[in-house]
């Protein structure tokens, strides 16, 4: 009888521990889901298979941090996509700054066009050697010259009249046009 009680208590204790671990994992995953966007439809492209056999998309993950910083992380350099449309809101949260990151030297080798929706104030990227156009909304407040290093001859910047982006393009001698879609 005593062994049965000990066995029952051990089973109950194991069940309580397992329930606690499951609850912790659920809460941790829920917090991660609130901040991380794994491949949303506006940004997806063709699937690829990496060396480990894992299926990949042009964007491996996106994270929206407090303060409106959207971090786009890729190791595929946006292969299979040439245009990236970046929305100014995600799940009712405002995106102010967009950072495109990679462990690779060239973050976005395949990108030719970047279109920022009105509301975005800053774009941070590097290593886009084939970039042809960037559409800056009237809301843009900061453009870092080094992001456009070696692109002056090939890039056209779309701006709105009398905007920060227009003044920046004039000051740094970049070709620009008026427009909000890049197709004008």
DSSP string over 117-173: PTT--EEE----TT--EEE--TT--B--GGGGTT-TTT-EEEE-TTSHHHHHHHHTT
**What mean pLDDT is reported for the chain?**
70
The b/e string for 126-153 (b: 16+ C-beta within 10 A; e otherwise) is bbbeebebbbbbebbeebeeebbeebee
Position 115 scores a pLDDT of 85
Reported as a pLDDT band with limits 50, 70 and 90, residue 14 is confident
Q: Per residue in 56-84, pLDDT tens?
A: 444 555 667 788 887 766 655 555 567 77
Position 17 scores a pLDDT of 62
CA distance 126 to 148: 8
**Contact, 177 vs 158, CB < 8 A?**
yes
* Residue matched to tokens 């992001």: 147
CA distance 113 to 78: 12
State yes or no: pLDDT of 140 exceeds 80. yes
Minimum mean pLDDT range among 29-43, 109-123, 156-170: 29-43
Position 170 scores a pLDDT of 94
Percent of the chain's residues with pLDDT above 90: 17
Position 25 scores a pLDDT of 47
Q: How far is CA 138 from CA 7, 120, 143, 180, in A?
A: 70, 9, 12, 9
């Amino acid at each position: 009888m005593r062994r049965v009680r000990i066995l029952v208590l051990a089973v109950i204790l194991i069940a309580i521990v397992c329930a606690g671990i499951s609850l912790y994992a659920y809460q941790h995953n829920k917090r991660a889901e609130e901040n991380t966007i794994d491949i949303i439809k506006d940004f997806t492209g063709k699937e690829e298979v990496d060396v480990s056999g894992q299926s990949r998309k042009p964007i491996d993950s996106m994270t929206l941090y407090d303060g409106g910083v959207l971090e786009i992380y890729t190791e595929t350099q946006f292969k299979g996509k040439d245009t990236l449309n970046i929305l100014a809101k995600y799940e009712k949260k405002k995106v102010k700054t967009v950072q495109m990151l990679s462990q690779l030297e060239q973050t976005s080798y395949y990108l030719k066009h970047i279109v920022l929706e009105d509301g975005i104030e800053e774009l941070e990227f590097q290593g886009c050697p084939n970039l042809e156009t960037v559409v800056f909304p009237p809301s843009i407040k900061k453009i870092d010259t080094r992001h456009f290093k070696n692109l002056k001859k090939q890039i056209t910047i779309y701006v709105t009249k009398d905007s920060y982006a227009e003044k920046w393009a004039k000051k740094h001698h970049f070709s620009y046009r008026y427009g909000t879609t890049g197709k004008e």
